[in-house]
Amino acid sequence: MKTIERKKKRNTKQKAIVFQVVQDSHDHPTAETVYERAKRELPTISLGTVYRILKELVPEGKIREIIVNKQSRFDPKTEFHHHFICKKCGKIEDVKTPLCRYTCKKLEQKGYIIEEIEYKFYGLCDKCAAEN
């Protein structure tokens, strides 16, 4: 019988820096933005390394990936919350109001297991709305 060797995820300096960049971000950065910020701390880091590390951190539950306009953005907050996305400037803001607790309870009473919920609100942020 063959044994399957599992690849152990290492905690490298690069991984620590990428994680810290996301943790320090309040703008839900793209991988490219994370890369630009990480380069300030570690000039030799590559964009490919940043992509790989971000894709490791998401399933590890350390960060969240949200897709906005077919582009991955990264969120340091992994607890349950929603997002507001400005259609004009692209700003993403956390919405902390739990909107679907009642619906979740009803589905769970039917035996469903809810693993993930994501609401995205699209519109104009306060600054863009004031410009109109």
| C-alpha pair distances (Å), 32 with each of 47, 102, 125 | 7, 38, 23
| pTM for the full predicted model | 0.79
Protein fold of 10-78: Arc Repressor Mutant, subunit A (1.10.10)
Question: Rounded to the nearest 5°, which phi and psi values hold at 32?
Answer: -65, -40
Q: How far apart are CA 46 and CA 31, in angstroms?
A: 11
Q: What is the Cα gyration radius of the chain?
A: 18
Q: Which pLDDT tens digit goes with each residue over 2-29?
A: 444 444 556 699 999 999 999 999 999 9
Q: Domain ranges for the chain, please list them.
A: 10-78, 79-132
> How much is the pLDDT for 31?
98
Dist. CA 67–CA 51, nearest whole Å:
15
User: What is the spatial distance between Cα 65 and Cα 58, in angstroms, rounded to a whole number?
Assistant: 6
Q: CATH assignment of 79-132?
A: 3.30.1490.190
